[in-house]
């Protein structure tokens, strides 16, 4: 197993994080598509993950409406000390007017409920699952800071934030001496590189950790799907079109993934994850699985060393292009330096690709 520091915390987490959205799902369309693994099935996966050196597990209260946390809590009863445990809060858990969002009222209730379901006295990484457009960010950060001071949370993180939202939150935390976000959990994949325009530069500048969810775009890059209509009927992507991506672009990416995977004798999924792991900005890739075979396949990505030519092929087929003001800032960037100044290499903060 390989490990990376989570932001600036001094804590090292496995570069493959076990995602548990498939644990304990509800008997409905979403649950049946994503997964409804029982405690026994989950225990086999968690056991193999820990044996492989994975020390990082991610869940959320909304997964299975608490079902994932319940199953994980049972599975980790005797192994809690081996795991850096992360969960998330924000989503609506009940019909009441205050049963969602990031008010102090809801977050405090959500934390206590997660602690109970996970059968633990603390959460290692407590993340807000989205940006709350109602609760002032100052209130959210103060609440999270109180959780850390109470000893119920070790570190805090955010998920699905924009670059300006992360920058604003970090600035407020610094100004008021509050706990800072240690990490950002974002959708990042060859099939969707949107975060490279604004969020990834903010992450690099602040030295915040980056956790990537849905690295295979909901299974679209697994190799089970292609432009000819081939698919696996039991796969999640065959039932739920999430996350949304440009499929015409995805098919081109799959073609390149298949060609490269044949050379390395692994699956396209392993190559897609290896591409993410090749980025210095990526801390850990969250792999959600429904069986140990998928877990083993994802773990093979750790042993894949992509050549520069292969990375260029993947970059070319998936590159999102530059957007304003990135392209104008990079247009004459070289003229900022005096003649004879040493070559500093590509400055991706000014619009060039960071991968």
DSSP string, 148-206: HHTTSEEEEEEES--HHHHHHHHHHHHHHTPPPEEEEEEE-BTTB-GGGTTHHHHHHHH
Strands 181-187, 284-288: pairing kind: unpaired
Helix H or strand E segment including 27: none
Per DSSP, 302 falls in state: G
126 in active site: no
Taking CA 20 as the corner, what is the angle to CA 5 and CA 136, rounded to the nearest 5 degrees?
Answer: 70
What the block records as the tokens of 332 is 């004459």
Q: Is 117 helix (H, G, I), strand (E, B) or coil?
A: helix
- Cα of 103 vs its chain's centroid, Å: 24
Q: Please give the Cα distance from 113 to 76 (Å, whole number).
A: 17
CB atoms within 10 A of CB 270: 25
Helix axes 199-206, 163-176, angle to 10 degrees: 30
Q: 3, 12, 63, 161: which is the annotated catalytic residue?
A: 63
Q: Is 37 helix (H, G, I), strand (E, B) or coil?
A: strand
Q: Is 126 helix (H, G, I), strand (E, B) or coil?
A: strand
Inter-residue contact 286 to 215 (CB < 8 Å): yes
Torsional sign, CA 81, 74, 28, 61? negative
Catalytic residues: 63
């Amino acid at each position: 197993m390989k490990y990376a520091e989570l932001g600036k915390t001094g804590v090292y987490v496995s570069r493959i994080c076990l995602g548990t959205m498939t644990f304990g799902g509800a008997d409905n369309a979403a649950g049946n598509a994503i997964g409804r693994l029982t405690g026994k099935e989950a225990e086999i996966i968690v056991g193999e993950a820990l044996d492989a050196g994975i020390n990082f597990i991610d869940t959320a209260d909304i997964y299975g409406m608490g079902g994932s946390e319940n199953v994980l809590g049972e599975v980790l009863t005797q192994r809690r000390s081996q795991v850096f445990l992360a969960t998330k809060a924000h989503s609506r858990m009940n019909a009441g007017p205050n049963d969602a969002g990031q008010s102090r009222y809801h977050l405090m209730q959500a934390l206590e409920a997660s602690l109970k379901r996970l059968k633990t006295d603390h959460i290692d990484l407590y993340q807000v699952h989205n940006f709350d457009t109602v609760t002032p960010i100052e209130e959210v950060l103060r609440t999270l800071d109180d959780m850390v001071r109470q000893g119920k949370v070790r570190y805090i993180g955010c998920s699905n934030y924009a670059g300006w939202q992360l920058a604003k939150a970090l600035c407020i935390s610094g100004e008021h001496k509050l706990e800072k976000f240690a990490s950002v959990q974002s959708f990042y994949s060859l099939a969707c590189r949107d975060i490279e325009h604004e969020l990834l530069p903010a992450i690099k500048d602040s030295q915040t950790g980056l956790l990537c969810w849905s690295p295979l775009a909901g299974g679209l890059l697994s190799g089970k799907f292609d432009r000819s209509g081939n698919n696996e009927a039991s796969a999640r992507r065959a039932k739920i079109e999430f996350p949304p991506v440009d499929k015409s672009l995805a098919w081109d990416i799959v073609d390149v993934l298949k060609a490269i995977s044949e050379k390395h004798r692994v699956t396209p999924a392993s190559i897609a994850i290896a591409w993410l792991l090749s980025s210095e900005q990526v801390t850990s890739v969250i792999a959600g699985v429904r069986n140990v075979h998928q877990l083993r396949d994802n773990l093979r990505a750790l042993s894949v060393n992509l050549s520069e030519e292969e990375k260029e092929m993947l970059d070319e087929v998936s590159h999102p292009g530059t957007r304003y003001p990135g392209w104008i800032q990079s247009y004459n960037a070289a003229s900022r330096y005096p003649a004879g100044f040493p070559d500093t290499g590509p400055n991706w903060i000014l619009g060039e690709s960071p991968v």
